[in-house]
Amino acid sequence: MSDALSDQEILASTKQWLEKAVIGLNLCPFAKGVHIKEQIRYIVSHARTEEELLKDLIDELEALAEANPEKIDTTLLIHPFVLNDFLDFNDFLEVADATLEDRDLDGILQVASFHPLYQFEDTDLDDIENFTNRSPYPTLHLLREESIDKAVEAFPEAEQIYEKNMATLRALGLEGWKKLFLV
């Protein structure tokens, strides 16, 4: 990933993806509320190594845990310069989960993942289903467990989100996905 990208460009691409794909296609019915209320913290990490990213992750986990949920309910930790290989990124998720436990944040916060080359098990790289978790840059999504519980309680069909997303993306197709970002 080139250093020529500015934080503003990285944030603009990420927000466009959030608005057009995640919210626009309703891939996550819970995202719209925190977006409208401006409760999403966007952080661009300049980490070049996994160790530097881990430090940023720890800082952001602690910041989210200490923040007032009315002000910051969730964090997108965007890291364009490290873990661009999906398998390395996927391996790092074990480190992220272990960090939650080490910091006594397991059950309070959780880490979800998005990546430009995200690939579910038993799929081909270009299968449209993978695009539910594809983002412009490798991104760790830090969430409050309490907020997830409240959202699931308010959305009784939460267990059907995955299947609905698959159907939405199959209907949209790869060309439709690409067109989302041309406007």
In a domain, 183, yes or no: no
Strands 109-114 and 74-78 turn out to be: unpaired
- pLDDT at residue number 151: 86
In a domain, 54, yes or no: yes
Structure tokens given for 23: 């919210």
pLDDT per residue over 112-168, tens digit each? 999 999 999 999 999 999 999 999 999 999 999 999 999 888 887 878 998 999 999
pLDDT per residue over 162-177, tens digit each? 899 999 999 999 999 9
> Which of 69, 78, 74 lies closest to 17 in space, CA to CA?
78
Is the pLDDT at 19 greater than 80? The verdict is: yes
pLDDT per residue over 45-102, tens digit each? 999 999 999 999 999 999 999 999 999 999 999 999 999 999 999 999 999 999 999 9
> 């944030």: which residue's tokens?
11
In a domain, 2, yes or no: no
In a domain, 86, yes or no: yes
Query: What letter would DSSP give residue 19?
Result: I
For residues 27 and 165, is the Cβ–Cβ distance under 8 A?
yes
In a domain, 182, yes or no: no
Structure tokens given for 35: 């977006």
Terminus-to-terminus CA distance in the chain, angstroms? Answer: 24
The C-alpha atoms of residue 52 and residue 133 are separated, in whole angstroms, by: 24
Beta bridge partners of 42: 76
pTM over 0.85: yes
Single-letter amino acid, residue 168: T
Alpha-carbon radius of gyration of the chain: 16
- Total of domains in the chain: 1
* Enclosing domain of residue 170: 7-177
In a domain, 113, yes or no: yes
Structure tokens given for 105: 């944040």
The total of other beta-carbon atoms located within 10 Å of residue 68's CB is 8
- pLDDT at residue number 78: 99
- pLDDT at residue number 5: 85
Handedness of CA 63, 65, 68, 74 (dihedral sign): positive
Q: Where are the beta strands (DSSP E) in 48-154?
A: 74-78, 109-114, 139-144
In a domain, 1, yes or no: no
Percent of the chain with pLDDT over 70: 98
In a domain, 91, yes or no: yes
